Structure 1
Amino acid sequence: MNTERQRTSRLLEILIVFLRLGLTSFGGPIAHLGYFRDEFVTRRRWLTDSAYADIVALCQFLPGPASSQAGFAIGVQRGGLLGGIAAWAGFTLPSALLMLAFAYGTSVFSGPWGEGILQGLKLVAVAIVAQAIWGMARTLTPDIVRGAIAVAAAVAVLFLETAAVQISVIAGGAVLGLIFCRNGDPTTTTHMHSGVKRRKAIVALVLFAAIFAILPLFDKLNSPALSLFGAFYQAGALVFGGGHVVLPLLETSLVGPGWVDHETFLAGYGAAQAMPGPLFTFAAYLGAVAFANPNSLAGAAIGLIAVFLPGLLLVYGAMPFWDALRRQSLGQAAMKGANAAVVGILVAAFYDPVWTSGVSGAVDVVLALAGFLALVILKAPPWTVVLALAAAGAIFH
């Protein structure tokens, strides 16, 4: 009885923590990783920096929404599969419900005040990502070799703008780690307890592949629900490089066949920029406004589940194998290089798109710096920085 009560309490804790993050995590997937690090590494100490970097590296390797996959993996480690589902639900539902409300005609970020608030939220992303880089660089690039790997990774991501560049950069970092980071005794400290049995992981991977393989059949069954599910599942299964990359895939899958018109698609995309939580919840909006049935609430549910499902199946299936690789001495050397590459990827993302799209003048520089100092020196809770910079953006813009 006590064990069951403790499990229920832990699941409730996971849900509440991620629900708060889902309500306050503005700024896109890179900023979300900063929020997660602050919450689970710095504040709650559920993870070490190395363990968190392992999760980030794994999720960057896989297609799908990296920040949502990272949150799901943290939930799985903390409370098993139900913990992962609780983490995903808590982080996803606030944004999904807001996008559903927008689909019914609610427009929050319109007019000069709304645009100013949106600009303030972009500056929140600047401060959050800068804080993440500051903390992770000190832990994961403590020597010249790993610092050089991080710099090389940042340069590669900035100048080689392809969908698969992040995967290549992390793989390259792992190779460099094998070559240059093998000095010293392998650590026996376990960083990442996946908590996933290999049998269950294999089932998840087979399910992912089986659904993907039968997608062409969905259009032939003359079922609008299956066709809508297939369009979203395919987009979620093929996207690499973060939430924004899914947008052209969704446009091709939904605007092309006539599920959604171009103007409605762009209106939802604009609203999604102002929402907390994962950008993939744009799918809830698209499912709700689809011209043909299912649409409304049923369409939103189909879109939301289908676009997230492939990424969650992949990360659940990969977790135990990733952990086994990391435990080997060669695996540990590779992870040192891969973790350094993750820092470089964050640096590149900080410049473009976080800095380039968020900072447009001296006032923005001052506000972003104030947010960074509040987080790093004053240890202010992230949600207070969100409110402060959103208000400042409304005032100054």
Structure 2
Amino acid sequence: MLAAFFKLGLTSFGGPVAHLGYFRTEFVERRRWLDDRSYSDLVALCQFLPGPASSQVGMALGLGRAGWLGALAAWAGFTLPSAVALILFAFGVAEWSGLASSSVVHGLKVVAVAVVAQAVMGMAKSLCPDRLRAGLAVSAALAVLAVPTALGQVAVIALGGLVGRFAVRVDQLQPATHRDYGVSKTVGATLLVLFGVLLIGLPAFAAATGSMVASAIAVFYKAGALVFGGGHVVLPLIQSGVVPTGWVSNDTFLAGYGAAQAVPGPLFTFAAYLGAAMHAPLGGWVGGFTLLLAMFLPAFLLVAGALPFWETIRQRGGVQQAMGGVNAAVVGVLVAALYDPVWTSAIHTKADFGLSLAAFGLLVFGRVSPVVVVAAAAVVAGALQL
């Protein structure tokens, strides 16, 4: 179990859609742990929930195969390679003070513009198929630019769900037989309640104690709990929580985000980099793994808690409509993040724009691997001293 997911954690480049393809090849076709119908049903659940969809699929696969320890092994194997690589990168940024502002790291920030732009374009195409949802996305972007705080982003997503509940039209899903993952409805309900308690309780505890550690855990737990649409959407939620507070500088933040494009596995391991890059009492390995766990904990609670209730939940038309509005609002949040902080912090000259445009063309039209594009941008920026 651990070895199978560790291999995928070392080799799964290309984002969550590619990860799901790797999982299907390994666990449906090669190992035959489940059939195509069960796998598709599981993917539908994890796309429906907030959090890192590919990691949640991996957790559920491990849970169905070997119980709770299987879920832990699946998560650890798939997540640790990229998390360790990003923590080591954070040590490099801390050791060499000029690294965060070097031309090579500036290249990582520039290519982040292309990566986020590609994500915006792809998500808009699939999540905003009509005028209403396109309008929701534009309105959400304007609102987040006007109120650039974590609270503003959460409010926009909530309002998107409310509008979607009463205005979005979606096709009714066909009933399907759901696979048993060994989680009872009682245990599932307990996990969902715990998810909600932590979502509300962690910020309250942090405010009451004034603890920097508790505050950071609350920020990353909330980001992991409220992010719909893939890892790129976590960018604005975390940025508004860690940069204005001074926990990391904006240059350090964007350098790590650029580096995260070059490692395999889930983009949510960006949390490990930030935890390692922070000052005491966080920082280093302890900080990296603490915030990594805080980011992924809500994903585990949600997927394990929802599995026993999945078919009932997904057939409710109101839930599907609300999710349509939420997803459209998420596109708007990411559009706002594309401008600030990604564009404003990286694009200062015509050369910056040209390098970002070239990276975008390679990603979208050339279909070149993000790993190759990120590496090339860093090399070009270093050579040209951008």
Compute the TM-score of the two structures, normalised by the length of structure 1: 0.67
Q: Which residue matches 1:17?
A: 11
Q: Which residue matches 1:58?
A: 50
Would you say 1:109 and 2:108 are equivalent positions?
A: no
1:39-78 matches, within 5 Å, as 39-40=18-19, 55=47, 58-59=50-51, 69=52, 72-78=55-61
1:1-397 matches, within 5 Å, as 7-8=1-2, 10-17=4-11, 36-37=15-16, 39-40=18-19, 55=47, 58-59=50-51, 69=52, 72-80=55-63, 81-82=71-72, 83-100=74-91, 105-106=95-96, 109=99, 115-182=102-169, 185-188=171-174, 197=183, 199=187, 202-203=190-191, 206=194, 209=197, 233-234=217-218, 236-237=220-221, 241-247=236-242, 271=252, 273-275=254-256, 276-277=259-260, 278-286=270-278, 300-319=284-303, 320-321=305-306, 325-396=313-384, 397=386
Deviates more, 1:37-46 or 1:91-100: 37-46
Q: Deviations over 1:334-354 (max 9, x none)?
A: 111111111111111111111
Unmatched 5+ stretches in structure 1:
1-6, 22-34, 60-68, 220-226, 252-264
Hey, what's the Cα distance between the residues in 1 that align with 2:241 and 2:99? 22
Distance 1:207 1:128, change over 3 A: closer
* Aligned 8 A contact 2:118 2:363 in 1: yes
Deviates more, 1:195-204 or 1:94-103: 195-204
Aligned-residue offset at 1:135? 1.5
Which residue identity does 1:174 align to in structure 2? G
Aligned-residue offset at 1:375? 0.8
Hey, what's the Cα distance between the residues in 1 that align with 2:103 and 2:149? 32
Unmatched 5+ stretches in structure 2:
26-38, 64-70, 227-235, 261-269
Identity %: 26
Report how many residues are paired: 330
Aligned-residue offset at 1:234? 5.0
Distance 1:281 1:16, change over 3 A: same
Which residue identity does 1:312 align to in structure 2? F
Compute the TM-score of the two structures, normalised by the length of structure 2: 0.69
Hey, what's the Cα distance between the residues in 2 that align with 1:202 and 1:15? 30
Once superposed, what is the RMSD of the aligned Cα atoms? 4.1
